[in-house]
């Protein structure tokens, strides 16, 4: 979900996709039906998911890699967002520059 939302944000630049991306990422951190963090910062691992009444005790490589990929996408979004914001701020300044008037 995090990656899909990042792709949607890249295409549309709509803030709602950035919000949805953050919401999907927070699922790993405890904003889920059980209010349980699947990510364990002490070990760096991630549980495999949730049962109806408890977290899954397994902490396989796939789950940990899914968390790490989602974390990486969050960082990529933050970097790209700053670049987009900086480029938007620079355009009006460039349009007013003497070089642009020549």
pLDDT tens string for the chain (102 positions)?
999 999 999 999 999 999 999 999 999 999 999 999 999 999 999 999 999 999 999 999 999 999 999 999 999 998 988 888 888 777 665 555 555 555
Residue 78: how many other CB atoms lie within 10 Å: 11
* pLDDT computed for residue 95 by the predictor: 57
Q: How is the chain split into domains, by residue range? A: 2-76
Q: What pLDDT, on the 0 to 100 scale, is given for residue 37? A: 97
Nearest to 81 by CA among 13, 23, 12: 13
Token pair for 80: 């790209």
């Amino acid at each position: 979900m995090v990656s899909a939302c990042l792709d949607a944000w890249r295409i549309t630049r709509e803030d709602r996709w950035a919000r949805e991306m953050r919401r999907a990422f927070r699922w790993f951190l405890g904003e889920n039906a059980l209010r349980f963090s699947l990510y364990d910062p002490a070990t760096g691992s991630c549980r495999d998911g949730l049962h109806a009444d408890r977290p899954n005790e397994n902490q396989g490589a796939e789950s940990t890699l899914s968390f790490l990929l989602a974390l990486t996408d969050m960082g990529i979004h933050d970097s790209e967002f700053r670049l987009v914001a900086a480029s938007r701020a620079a355009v009006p300044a460039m349009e007013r520059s003497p070089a642009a008037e020549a």
